[in-house]
Chain A
Amino acid sequence: MLKIQVKSKDKHLDPPRYPKLILPIEKEMEKEFDVVMKKMMIDVTKQLTVAMKRKG
């Protein structure tokens, strides 16, 4: 039987009203998060390495 997938209407992506003004701020926040995630991965790796050495 053919099943039709309906995309959730709740998660629509409306464009901002003033994209030239709003998007730079939103993009800056998303970019900053990507940077933070990379730093976090480095910090977690370092801490995990230290913890495992101590354990040994």
Chain B
Amino acid sequence: MTDAARPLAAVPRWLRGLLVAALAAQLALHQAAPPAGASARDLPPAPQPALLRLASLGEPPALARLLMLYLQAFDLGGGNVLPYRRLDYRRLADWLRAILALDPKSQYPLFSAARVYAEVPDRQRMRQMLELIHDEYLADPNRRWPWLAHAAILAKHRLGDLPLALRYAAAIERHTTDPGAPLWAKHMQIFILEDMGELEAERIMIGSLIESGRIREPAELGLLKRRLEELERRR
């Protein structure tokens, strides 16, 4: 507004009234509108990754992360005693897969799958998330092994499903070639076999690992040899 603006009195009284009434109506309508925030039922089917790529307008990492924020708002909080209890996990898995396809290097989808959605007190839903993590791990083992390792821990301790935990641990051992992956992750299946009472299988596995020549680190080799000796003593 410039200094040359006419005084307020120049505006007709009816127009001032209309402005105030319109503002009041807007506030009242906003108050009457349903509260913002998405419920579980609102989660729509996931779009095709190709459509998401089109919608990203050449910025897939940005859209992938914004979609994760969008997704995490569903069925979280609001009067929901158990978060994600009513969420359709099939749709959720489709969304996570689509977001991973949009930005395969992002850790956000698998972090959420492992640390948020798989921690629900519902065995069926937990299994769905663990399977999603396993499937997606196979696409990029060296980047995604931490999430499968977490999945193996959940399968062992939360589900009490040792064969499932063993399958995940075996996948890590077989497919992860990242030298930065820690020993505990690469040799997780040894400890699971021990928990299962499969000492003979564990002994054979450690022996074949040492013989294969894949273990180059002296510390790692020493640890495995000590474990083998202990197993030999217990035979």
Q: Do A and B bind each other?
A: no
